[in-house]
Structure 1
Amino acid sequence: MTTDQPHSDRRPDRLAATTAAQRHQRRFFDDLRAHAAAGGEFALVNADTPHEILRTMGIPYVVNQWWASIVAAKQRAAGYLERLRERGYPDDIEQYNAAPLGGLFAPDPDTDPWGGLPRPSLVLAETTGDATRKVFDVWAEEFPGTEFVALESAAAHDVPTHWWERMPWHWEDAVGTDRIDLLVGELTGLIRKLEERTGRRFSETRFREVMALANEQAEYNRRTRDLIAAARPCPVDVPANVPAVMLPQWHRGTGYARDAARALHDEVADRIAAGAAVCRPERARLMWIGRGLWFDMGFYERFRREYGAVFVWSMYLAIAADGYARYGDDPLRALAARFAAFSDQLYTPPWSTEWYLKEARAHGVDGVVHLVSDDARGGYFTTRALEDAGIPVLELHADNVDPRTTDQATMTRTVAEWLEHRVLPDGRGA
């Protein structure tokens, strides 16, 4: 790997939207810990579940994958996973879902990130695969008073083309009536359960407000994605924009989250108008497919500094742009349509492969780095579709929160060699 560095303008200041989102999230978590310490109920939920029900009812929740990312970034994931092994559970399956569980077996507020995750009273997850179901079964088995509510993962034979165009308004045809019916029934049962458990009432008026705010947030995210896709050179890269996108996503359905998405859009637009660039010269535009590499937060920037290779795309902003907006007169049915096929959009070909190709072309990428975990679904087809379209793909086989599955030097060397041999026109970093 060359040590020469491309000429680069001084990196623009950190996004104000990112700083604001991180501060808000820390305040939120501190308030949640105080709420739990006072005996209040809260839920642990997976990212691909309908948080809007809890939002409507005013029930606090923490997103399991967000907490796993904090644990990994603070270099605690390996220890949490080893606690699973000590309890007789596997520590090398579904680490992204399982790491937060490991942290509850021997909590230590003095050393755990942010004081540690309190014990939830309710766990909500979609059960994609046997291993995922068993991870969440353990919450209820190991912690008395914690209830696990499972949502089914349905499939369909019919696959829509260009689903991202059809989903906002024509979701019934795109997802399928049977799949939506199933989830509507499960959500109705979830609402009844929450009403009985908490004494709170579900208000359809409030629910419509939550759905409208979530749709506004999605529209701002779509506009931001489109700005970045069209801008040459890139005004804000993946490590800069992911927190500003995803932290408000976990507050979907609030005025705060809508306003945060608008603030990110306006800041990106201002950067483009001012001619800001992450790197000059921008020698390669890269796409990152897969979950964030949370245990190595400096990964993406190494290749900008060494090679002028900028990661311009990740699924986080892109799915926030295309995957959430749902309009219609029946808000519960629209919410079911938001999540009944959510995993398909990211992982099931041809849903996923068509979308990745669309996004790669729109962003003008020169290559794709594809993180493939052991639990990957459809990874082979994603790589093949992109390569068949003439886009070089590098597969990295590692878990995104478990540093034991790889090492920084190996991953850095592998990407550097791929850049030099397949992506950069002259094979050099300068």
Structure 2
Amino acid sequence: MTRLESARRATRHQRQWFEDLRAQVEAGAPLALVNADAPQEIFRAMGIPYVVNQWWASIITAKRLGQDHLRRVRAHGYPDDSEQYNALPLAGVLDPDPETAPWGGLPQPTIVLGETTGDASRKVFDVWDEQPGTTFYALESAAENAVPAQWWELMPHRWEEAIGSDRLDLLVGELEGLIRFLETTTGLVFSETRFREVMALVNEQEEWNRRTRDLIAAARPCPLEVTDGIPSVMVPQWHRGTAWGVEAAKAFHDEVAQRVEAGTGVGVDERARLMWVGRGLWFDLDFYRRFQDSHGAVFVWSMYLAIAADGYLRYGDDPLRALAARFATFSDQLYTPPWSVEWYVKEARHHGVDGVVHLVSDDPRGSWFTTRGLEAAGFPVLELHADNVDARTTEPDTLDRQVREWLDDVVLPGAAGARD
């Protein structure tokens, strides 16, 4: 199948952007390393270049450099079998090696921003804080006993009701402190006018992502491979708050719409629609394609486009509070039951999937509940136990064998019966 042009353009843009970023930092600009679940929009509004920690880990792994970087972590006396996704970028600073670093290597950041979701992840960021010239700015991870039903319907406009004022008050206070810290350390000034522009652009971009998600959910056959969908949505996501991000999201939507209208599929006889729950399997991206050819099984869903559609839209008169609402429950939406479980079930139904492949790693929370919730809703689930950036945690042949047997014994007979 011909690759999406939007995916090609996004990849080219990201490579050029990273070269430009390196030049900015070499010229003296500050650099932030931020977690995917951290409020990057503040840096966008202040003109501070930033790199997303998990994106850089995915680049390291996709370039087959994951084991090299884990060895460097181990050589400095740190565990290489815990929090690998968060720890990989750290290796490039602990033991820089320009010859093996992808894209010329990550410059040393001046600030690292992340939410403290657990003891192990906090320790990774504490090591960042020990590096000369780097400061770790920690955000709390708050929780709430009351969980709203169908939170995805409330979030765009009724987020205060969905999240709760206490959690929002806490994060707003922390973001105000972050802004003061950045102004003091960089000499740059936070402009609320510019910040409002950034927030409006983000909402515009996510509206396009929502339309694209719904197009794919309704389309038969599936119009694209998941390995095209991920860069088409996620590269623009790392550029949220820019005109380019909006244009790229619209281009992705329009290209998918053209394929849907033409009835274009991924080029196989689609016999089963699959859902991939978990992070991308960066050390083996060909994994997703292999079952198209052998079984006509197409992955029609990943969390990347879906969370862009349901997890980011926030409208309101107070932009900082709206930003807090975007991230106060971000991890809950993906990993904490019943937030996550109800959403996965809703998405499985929306996309009409015949089965779910669930990547279970050590650090994400709530995996047991996700599997049980999907099974209770009638969806067969196959759990694959592996780390998404550490190929040592499994053998590729083992993963393939597990999926093939599950497709043969469970999914394809059920899908055929449903069609009959």
Quick check: TM above 0.5?
yes
Q: Does residue 1:100 correspond to 2:69, yes or no? A: no
Cα-to-partner distance string for 1:325-354 (whole Å, 9 max, x where unaligned):
000000000000000011000111111111
Letter in structure 2 aligned against 1:163: W
- For 1:26, the equivalent position in structure 2 comes to 15
Deviation at 1:370, TM superposition (A): 0.1
Structure-to-structure mapping, 1:316-331, within 5 angstroms: 316-331=304-319
Q: Distance in 2 between matches of 1:124 and 1:51?
A: 9
Give the match for residue 25 of structure 2.
Answer: 36
Cα distance in 2, alignment partners of residues 239 and 84 from structure 1 = 29
* Counterpart residue identity of residue 372, structure 1: V
Of 123, 130, 154, the match for 2:119? 130
State the alpha-carbon separation in 2 of the partners of residues 157 and 237 from structure 1.
38
Q: Which residue of 1 aligns with 2:58?
A: 69
Q: Does 1:310 align with 2:298?
A: yes
1:119 pairs with 2:96: no
Aligned counterpart, 1:5: none
Aligned equivalent of 2:257, options 241, 250, 269: 269
Distance (Å, rounded) in 2 between the aligned partners of 1:348 and 1:214: 25
Which residue is equivalent to 1:244? 232
Q: Tell me the secondary structure at the aligned position of residue 424 of structure 1.
A: helix
- Which piece of structure 1 moves more, 95-104 or 59-68? 95-104
Cα deviation for residue 38 of structure 1 reads: 2.2
- Tell me, yes or no, if the aligned pair for 1:194 and 1:200 is still in contact at 8 Å: yes
**Which residue pairs with 2:372 in the alignment?**
384
The question of whether the paired residues in 2 share the 8 Å contact of 1:126 and 1:153 is answered with yes
Which residue number in structure 2 is paired with residue 342 of structure 1? 330
Higher relative contact order (CA 8 A, sep 6+): 1
* Cα distance between partner residues in 1 of 2:325 and 2:193: 19
Structure 1 residues without counterparts, runs of 5 or longer: 1-10
Paired residues, number: 416
Q: 1:219 Cα shift?
A: 0.4
The one-letter amino acid paired with 2:302 is: S
CA contact under 8 A between 2:274 and 2:355: conserved in structure 1?
A: yes
Paired residue for 1:396, among 360, 379, 384?
Answer: 384
Separation (CA, whole Å) in 2 of partners of 1:178 and 1:21: 38
Q: Is the 8 A contact 1:284 1:424 kept in 2?
A: yes
The residue aligned with 1:232 is 220
Contact 1:42 1:121 in 2 (8 A): yes
Deviation at 1:307, TM superposition (A): 0.6
User: Who is 1:363 aligned against?
Assistant: 351
SS of equivalent to 1:169: coil
Partner SS, residue 157 of structure 2: helix
Uncovered stretches (5+) of structure 2, i.e. residues with no partner: none
Confirm or deny that 1:191 pairs with 2:179. Answer: yes
Task: Tell me the distance in 2 between the aligned counterparts of 1:406 and 1:292.
Answer: 15
- Return the TM-score normalized by structure 1: 0.95
Aligned residue identity for 1:190: L
1:146-167 CA-to-partner distances (Å, cap 9, x unmatched) read 0100000000011000000000
Q: What CA deviation, in whole Å up to 9, does each residue of 1:281-328 have, x standing for no partner?
A: 200000000000001010000000111000000000000000000000
Q: Which residue does the alignment assign to 2:274?
A: 286
In 2, are the aligned partners of 1:44 and 1:61 still within 8 Å (CA)? yes
Within the alignment, does 1:207 sit opposite 2:195 as a pair?
yes
> What is the Cα deviation at residue 39 of structure 1?
2.5
Residues 386-420 of structure 1, C-alpha deviations (whole Å, 9 max, x = no match): 11111100000000001111121111111111111
Per the alignment, residue 414 of structure 1 pairs with: 402
Identity %: 69
Specify the code of the residue in structure 2 equivalent to 1:367. G
CA RMSD of aligned residues (A): 1.1
Moved more, 107-116 or 204-213: 107-116
Q: Contact 1:32–1:60 (CA<8 Å) still a contact in 2?
A: yes
Q: Distance in 2 between matches of 1:427 and 1:393?
A: 14
Q: TM-score, normalised by structure 2?
A: 0.98
How many angstroms apart in 2 are the aligned matches of 1:112 and 1:373? 25
Counterpart-to-counterpart distance in 2, 1:117 and 1:161: 41
Q: 1: CA distance between counterparts of 2:232 and 2:260?
A: 17
- Alignment partner, residue 142 of structure 2: 154
How many Å separate the matches in 1 of 2:126 and 2:27? 26
Distance in 2 (CA, whole Å) between partners of 1:287 and 1:90 is: 32
